[in-house]
Structure 1
């Protein structure tokens, strides 16, 4: 049983509102418009207005409208917190953690966090057909043909499969399980059934990654409203408390002293995160794990202590990560089947589960959720959250 009176961030801030735009292949609007629509929906969800907002935090990789522009469009003339966090999905959880720290310290009272991007119709980080990115490591990747994330994560996936003695079917079970969850999610882009034959018959993207091992490039926005726990209790929706937040290091493709690429930086972050929340892995009821590619789910199940080392394939095969299992994982379908919003849709799903509002995909009695960002590969950084209901 955790001590709610513990000092620090624990349970002092809460997610009060969530909002999103439809997921699509072509939004037809700017990332500014997407951000404003999602933020408006999140504020409506918790009964607040733009006049209540005094903090704005977003994350991106040069592919979205800056926080200052969004704040001006909202009419926030004197933001107490204004932050653009550089990083794709690696820093998704960090945006919520930063907002929670600002609220807990009194720097801001109501902070909106969001991710808005037209990743399918406009700009894709790491994609070809545009100028080379201004990253030091790019000069070391190009000679070897490492241009895109699937190529980069194929190396990571191969390292894990060899270390764990796993194979294609183990990756397939991750994609299939999440597709079952997506079928119960009316927002999901991919809801049709997926079986092992279809999975194995899909085309290679970059071995060992097939088509269904890869996330869905998506146009959409997600927004989250963070305020104090006390204030959230007076708002319409059940508060979801920020029990812990953390950031960590990671792996770089061009210079890395980590001896085992099958273990992500999440393994270093996890003990700190659990200590801050006052619980252990066995205290997590639902896991929303960053799943740009299927191997990352297996790796994080192990690195966050939800499965023994090299035991994640057997855990998934047993049905433990499915709805009704011991640790339901990516209950909305994840990036593989719902849509790729760089981690904030995982936070929104955790909030829905902890509110008890997930309908057919509801995890009975869900009181705690682990939400993770990309576990540190390529970017060299990672972040994660533990959220808990206020019941």
Structure 2
């Protein structure tokens, strides 16, 4: 047993079991509280767990764009909340909060924990619409370096230069994920995309075109975390947490948009946590059947594939162009269309898709026989990741596993 597995005592003992998703829209016409409570209720119902047994609620927000865990626990009339947590994070948070929930369950601080993300991210407060907090904006804003497409475009261009790539590499990601989105009724962008259409789309921030950028949405998503033992008695198959890691390094920046001191913009946090992640799961990159990779922009997929060792240096785009990540490929990636096509819930729906796939509940896009999945949360200097596995019960094994 690895040192990391010994250190993270919840690995192999905790599981994700229920998922709740609201509709994704440009204009929800609803309050964020309404979206949050719907997603949480749906996740509990999906798991077959009474709300009265839930004693933990966790969430995250970005510049106060959501509602608190305590307020949602109150709205749900939870009888005795024992573990409430809100973190000021963006896309780094989903896998990280699963780790917090699992640790709370393993330590006895809680038994059943909901994690949610809710926001009116298209019709309400949009990412970048308000001045970022912290010290770094004082140095960026005066010369117009203010928007997230600008920040991440720097990384994308440096990555393409250092690996000998081009905008066609970014386009490969967008095209492949749109093929998955065509089979996802929730996706906001379902129309198939060709590389020719990609090249004709407008430039947003060089080298990003419109199709390289996430689809902002109103909506909410929740997942339920519980013990593996309890999950075996619930409605859905347990999705066991086999590996987990969160990390960054010094000089990571004063806020999410500050990466000017980062030593290598051709690599993000996935390169830092990969060894710990795989060691914690007692697995190697070749052992996973699919990947759900955070993709606020198309370049994040390339960085994560190479950072985690799913592809060699400078080889991720070629792997995508060869069809290996597309429907029918050997390593399906972002099978819901990703944040680029389904909609931007800051990576919570990336995690939800992993659970659906491991439970065989992704409809026509289900990857039959898939038993292991790696999930990432985050794009730049810090982030988190999980390795998940499907545990099918003998009387609940409805997949054709081959």
Give the structure-1-normalised TM-score: 0.95
Following the alignment from structure 1 to structure 2, what is the Cα–Cα distance between the partners of residues 142 and 261? 21
Q: Which residue of 2 aligns with 1:30?
A: 31
Asked if the contact 1:240/1:355 (under 8 Å) is kept, the reply is: yes
Residue 256 of structure 1 deviates from its aligned partner by 5.2
Q: Which moved more, 1:355-364 or 1:174-183?
A: 355-364
Following the alignment from structure 1 to structure 2, what is the Cα–Cα distance between the partners of residues 231 and 92? 22
Following the alignment from structure 2 to structure 1, what is the Cα–Cα distance between the partners of residues 164 and 119? 37
Q: Which residue of 2 aligns with 1:105?
A: 107
**Structure 2 residue 296 is matched with structure 1 residue 297:** no
Following the alignment from structure 2 to structure 1, what is the Cα–Cα distance between the partners of residues 38 and 204? 34
1:92-111 C-alpha deviation (Å, 9 max, x unpaired): 21111111111111110000
Equivalences for residues 143-154 of structure 1 within 5 A: 143-154=142-153
SS of 1:25 mapped into structure 2: coil
**Structure 2 residue 331 is matched with structure 1 residue 330:** no
Equivalences for residues 315-354 of structure 1 within 5 A: 315-354=319-358
Q: Which residue of 2 aligns with 1:80?
A: 82
Following the alignment from structure 1 to structure 2, what is the Cα–Cα distance between the partners of residues 210 and 160? 16
Following the alignment from structure 2 to structure 1, what is the Cα–Cα distance between the partners of residues 326 and 191? 17
Asked if the contact 1:9/1:244 (under 8 Å) is kept, the reply is: no
Distance 1:35 1:372, change over 3 A: same
SS of 1:111 mapped into structure 2: strand
Please report the RMSD computed on the Cα atoms of aligned residues, expressed in angstroms.
Answer: 1.8
**Structure 2 residue 201 is matched with structure 1 residue 202:** yes
2:283 corresponds to which of 279, 289, 303 = 279
**Structure 2 residue 265 is matched with structure 1 residue 261:** yes
Following the alignment from structure 1 to structure 2, what is the Cα–Cα distance between the partners of residues 261 and 102? 35
Following the alignment from structure 2 to structure 1, what is the Cα–Cα distance between the partners of residues 224 and 231? 10
Q: Which residue of 1 aligns with 2:237?
A: 238
Q: Which moved more, 1:92-101 or 1:215-224?
A: 92-101
Distance 1:357 1:254, change over 3 A: closer
**Structure 2 residue 42 is matched with structure 1 residue 41:** yes
1:173-230 C-alpha deviation (Å, 9 max, x unpaired): 1001100100011111111111111111111110100000000000010000011000
Q: Which residue of 2 aligns with 1:67?
A: 69
Structure 1 residue ranges, 4+ long, deviating more than 4 angstroms after superposition: 253-257
Asked if the contact 1:285/1:328 (under 8 Å) is kept, the reply is: yes
Residue 77 of structure 1 deviates from its aligned partner by 4.6
Following the alignment from structure 2 to structure 1, what is the Cα–Cα distance between the partners of residues 178 and 16? 27
Following the alignment from structure 2 to structure 1, what is the Cα–Cα distance between the partners of residues 349 and 83? 23
Q: Which residue of 2 aligns with 1:141?
A: 140
Asked if the contact 2:181/2:341 (under 8 Å) is kept, the reply is: yes
Runs (5+) with no aligned partner, structure 2: 393-402
1:8-50 C-alpha deviation (Å, 9 max, x unpaired): 2211111110010001001111111100000111111011122
SS of 1:332 mapped into structure 2: coil
Runs (5+) with no aligned partner, structure 1: none
1:314-364 C-alpha deviation (Å, 9 max, x unpaired): 111111111221211000000000111111101111111111122221112
Following the alignment from structure 1 to structure 2, what is the Cα–Cα distance between the partners of residues 329 and 221? 22
Q: Which residue of 1 aligns with 2:172?
A: 173
Following the alignment from structure 1 to structure 2, what is the Cα–Cα distance between the partners of residues 382 and 254? 15
Q: Which residue of 1 aligns with 2:51?
A: 50
Q: Which moved more, 1:251-260 or 1:115-124?
A: 251-260
Q: Which residue of 2 aligns with 1:94?
A: 96
Following the alignment from structure 2 to structure 1, what is the Cα–Cα distance between the partners of residues 140 and 67? 28
SS of 2:92 mapped into structure 1: helix
Asked if the contact 2:358/2:372 (under 8 Å) is kept, the reply is: yes
Asked if the contact 2:17/2:355 (under 8 Å) is kept, the reply is: no
Asked if the contact 2:52/2:79 (under 8 Å) is kept, the reply is: no
Following the alignment from structure 1 to structure 2, what is the Cα–Cα distance between the partners of residues 322 and 36? 34
Aligned residue pair count: 384
